[in-house]
Every structure is written in C-alpha cells, then in structure tokens.
Chain A
Amino acid sequence: MNCREAQTLIHKELDGDLGDDERRLLIAHVHNCRRCRAMREGLHHLAAAVRELPAPLVPSAGLEEAVTRSLRRRRRLRRTVGAGLAAAAGILLLLMLWPQGTPTAPLATGGPSAHQAPEGRGPGPGTLPDLSPEAFRAWVEDAWEKAAGEAGTEPPSVEITLIAADYKWQGKLQRDLQETKSALLQMARAVGKQVFPFELPQPQRQGQNG
C-alpha cells in the first residue's frame, strides 16, 4: 500500500466506512510510515477538536415567538384567502356600512339580511338599528362563519376591529371596488393584533370624497 492509498483509508476511517481488512492494511502502513501516521493522528485530533468546539451563541428569546407569530399570520391569511371570495360581499358591505366620521358611534349595520344585500350596495347608515361593539362583532363572526362554511374552510378566528380601524379602506372601496381583494389581504395581515372592546382611531380623511 502506498501513502496515497493509505490516506484514502484514513478518510474512510474518519467517515466511519473502514472495513476490517482495510483497517489492518492501514495499521500496517502507518506503523512503518511516519508521515501517514502523523496525518492519521492529526486528522483524528482535528475531528475531536471540531466536535469539542463550543456551541455558538444562543438564539434570542424571541425566535420561537417570531416563528409562531408567522405561522398564525399565515394561517389567518390562508383562511382569509380561502374564505375570501365567499366572504367578499359581506366584508365589502361591512366596510361600506362603516359610518364615516363617527368612529366611536354605535354601528349602523344589519343582521342576517345585511350580508345578503347586493355587493357594494348596502343599506345606508341609519336605516338599520344601532349595534354595540359586541353585537357588531357577533354579526361579523356570524358572517365569517357562514362564509367559511360556504367556502369549506374552518371558521377563522375573527378579530375584526382592524377591518374598521383603517378608514383608508373605506375610501378606497368607495373609489374602486376592485380593491376588495387587497383589503382582505391587508386585513388578514392585521388580524389578531387587537382585542375587543375596541376603540377606533380617528378616521383618515383621505378618500372620503371618493
């Protein structure tokens, strides 16, 4: 066996692939070859030193939370998109019904008949009884469950404050109904960051003349 063959066997040994016959040949060679013996021992020493290297720094405490948050966001998004088409009319109506300029006022919205209204043409504020935030939430949850049922998905966990929290959507929707889809996606990203009872921010005036 020459040195080159011996070195191949040294690597096989470190790989854990060396057969008994090969081991005997290798040992016989390194017994007589100082260079290969040094290399064999040095490589084993190296491999041990590498295994002994300390673990690197640890991840920050927020890593697991960030992963979970992403998964939850993704699930909501997926469900929203899944139910989105079926729910689009209801959500659109919800947005259209939101009374402009009276963010903390009780909502003028409808019960079951409301989300059966023609898309984009919900009844105007004042034509339906006022609802408390809780009643409003319950109505939206019903609408979501119904939409999700129709879409064959699990009912999403609905935290709908943010639907209404961004008044820009209403303006946009009044200008261009085609943005419904985009509004749904935005909502899905935002969902879950607020809990009831909610307080609405001041409405943004942009788009209100649309």
Chain B
Amino acid sequence: MSASEDGTTDAQLVAVSRAGDIEAFQELVLRYQRRLFGLCYRLLGRYHDAEDACQEAFLRAYRALDRYDPSRPFDRWLLAIAANSAVSMLRRRRSTRTEPELAKADDITQTTQMASAADQAEARELGEAVARAITGLADHYRIPFVLFHQEEMSYEEISRALALPLGTVKSRVHRARERLYQELSRAGFLEREDRR
C-alpha cells in the first residue's frame, strides 16, 4: 500500500494512524524523514545522533498523535517534536561528557562540494564560512538561530519546542545574528555590501 501515490493528505494519514494503522504512519515517516533528519543533523552535527534523535522524534510523534491538533500543519508539529528530541539529545550528550562536535563543518563542506559546480566557488566559500560560524556558536544561540533561519520555524513554534519564553528566543536569535555578522564581516565575507 502506498498512500502517497494516490495523493493522500497528511491529515488523512494522521487520522488513519491515530486508529492504529502503522502503515499510514510509515508513509508519514517516508514523507518527512529527510526533513527531520536535516533538522536533527543541523542541531546535533553527528550522523548517528541525528538518526537516533530523528527516530525518537517519530516515535514520540506517534505516541502523541492523539494530542495533535489537526488545525495546525502536521509538518510544523513534527518539526517542533524533532527540535525537542534533538535538544534532549544534546543535553544527554553534555551530561555524559561526549566529545564535542567534530564533523559538522566538514560534513557540510562535503555536501557543498558535491552540490556545487566549479563556477559557484564564491557562494561555496561563503556557505562554508557561514556553516563554520554557525557551528561555532554556543548551543543556546545556535539552536534557536538554526530553527528560525534554516528550518523557518516561527518564534512561537521555537518557544514551544524549546520550552523557552518567546522574548528569550527572539533575543537569542538576534544575538546569534549579530555574532555571526561580526565574525563573518571581520573575515571579509559580508563586506561586499559594506563597500557601497
């Protein structure tokens, strides 16, 4: 059975999943696994951790389906759960004193190299610099920044997902922006506009 082939909507799949149909939920997993994995990877920076957090997010979502409000977009709801799972994993990682993140910039660089043509060297260089700079941010700045700018979650969604006051989320995103701007400007990456 392939629900996606006949154009089944998320809402329909959610309704059937709620009734205990695992195949329907499996279809939702297929639809959103890349997106959730991407979010988890950006927050965690390690492939296996991202997979674990992503898997945990789907399982949590399944358990929470009864509490899902169908008037809200399903993907936003799912992203919030994934963000929360990734942050929980970050906390666990800190508490178990795991090694700091190592692979993030390299991995992003790798995909950039794969994705970019030779004539996009400048954009690639900027992308690498931005990715490195984001990686260097403290978690409490990096996480809301990534959720807002990369995952395009709203402040309200981030606030709910991270259980932080709205004002705190905003100020952290603003601080993160300023730090990134300062660092990248100093390195000459954002100075093209400055010269005008």
Write the residues of chain A forming the contact surface with B, with a CB cutoff of 8 angstroms: 11, 14-15, 37-39, 41-43, 45-47, 49-60, 63-64, 66-68, 70-72, 74-75, 154
- CA of A51 to CA of B149, assembled, Å: 7
CA distance A43 to B37 in the complex (A): 27
Question: Are B194 and A41 within 8 A (Cβ)?
Answer: yes
How far apart are the CA atoms of A38 and B194 in the complex, in Å? 5
Closest A residue, CB atoms, query B174: A11
In this complex, the interface size class of chain B, counting residues with CB under 8 Å from chain A, is 35 or more
Q: Which B residues are in CB contact (< 8 Å) with A47?
A: 149, 177
Assembled-state Cα–Cα distance A146/B101 (Å): 53
- Chain A nearest CB from B28 CB (Å) reads 10
Q: Is the CB of A63 within 8 A of B177?
A: no
Main secondary structure of the interface of B (DSSP, over half): helix
Contact of B193 with A57 in the complex, beta carbons under 8 Å: no
With CB as the reference atom, state the residue of chain A lying closest to B35. A55
B40 to chain A, nearest CB (A): 9
Given A37, A42, A63, which contacts B190 in the complex, CB threshold below 8 Å? A42
Which residues of chain A are within 8 angstroms of B25 by Cβ–Cβ distance?
68, 71
Which A residues lie within 8 Å of B130 (CB)? 46, 49-50, 53
Pick the contact of A46 from B26, B37, B116, B180 — CB < 8 Å? B180
Shortest distance from the beta carbon of A125 to any chain B beta carbon, whole Å? 39
Q: Does B54 contact A (CB under 8 A)?
A: yes
Question: What are the residues of chain B within 8 A of A68 when measuring CB–CB?
Answer: 22, 25-26, 29
Q: Which of A38, A49, A72 has the most CB of B within 10 A?
A: A49
